[in-house]
């Protein structure tokens, strides 16, 4: 992927179009430009690899799980589908946002979307009676934002953690931070 090798700012729409074998006009018409193209890559990463979008599966999991720890473990497992690609896209956009106004706008959009989704998840924990007493949904949202694709990148991709160890550790850590004691 050109964005990974060149970065956001140095990757041109013309270069992407050439590599894809399409016209740059097609990229502009389809995606609206470079930020729209990266937005599409981000959305594709968020979908995961299952037959249904990862967010839909997350909602089903939240509604049908008996315990909060089952919900958390399910979210960690869904995160394993999303994290490998999402972490690299987020890192790309974050680094570009420091110097590129278009990337800065895209980063704001991504961060707002992440916060909205984590608020949705925090409300699901609260509505199902799983949230730790005294923990507001807003604070739960903030904690859920901490446990993000960057942890996968840091622990599994860079530090070489076994995926099963990652699942167990993240499930324990998130459960301790978010869930009521049983």
Q: What is the mean pLDDT of each run of 10 residues along the chain (182 residues)?
A: 83 92 94 89 88 92 92 93 86 87 91 95 95 96 86 89 95 94 71
CB neighbourhood size of 143 (10 A): 17
Q: What token pair was written down for 22?
A: 């399409």
Position 69 scores a pLDDT of 94
* Domain extents in the chain: 2-178
Position 70 scores a pLDDT of 94
DSSP 82: H
Q: What token pair was written down for 84?
A: 């490998």
Position 109 scores a pLDDT of 93
Tell me how many degrees the CA angle 76-81-82 measures, rounded to the nearest 5.
Answer: 90
Position 74 scores a pLDDT of 94
Q: What is the CATH number of domain 2-178?
A: 1.10.357.10
Q: Do 85 and 45 meet the contact criterion of CB atoms below 8 Å apart?
A: yes
């Amino acid at each position: 992927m050109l964005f990974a090798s060149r970065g956001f700012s140095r990757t041109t729409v013309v270069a992407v179009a050439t590599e894809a074998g399409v016209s740059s006009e097609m990229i502009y018409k389809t995606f609206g430009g470079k930020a729209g193209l990266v937005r599409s890559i981000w959305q594709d990463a968020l979908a995961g690899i299952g037959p249904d979008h990862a967010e839909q599966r997350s909602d089903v999991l939240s509604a049908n799980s008996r315990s909060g720890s089952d919900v958390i473990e399910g979210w960690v497992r869904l995160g394993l589908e999303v994290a490998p690609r999402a972490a690299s896209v987020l890192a790309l956009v974050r680094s570009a946002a420091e110097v590129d106004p278009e990337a800065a706008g895209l980063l704001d959009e991504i961060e707002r979307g992440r916060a909205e989704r984590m608020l949705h998840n925090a409300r699901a924990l609260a509505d199902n009676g799983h949230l730790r007493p005294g923990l507001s949904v807003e604070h739960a949202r903030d904690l859920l934002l901490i446990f993000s694709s960057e942890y996968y990148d840091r622990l599994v991709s860079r530090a070489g953690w076994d995926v099963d160890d990652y699942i167990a550790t993240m499930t324990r850590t998130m459960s301790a931070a978010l869930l009521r004691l049983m």
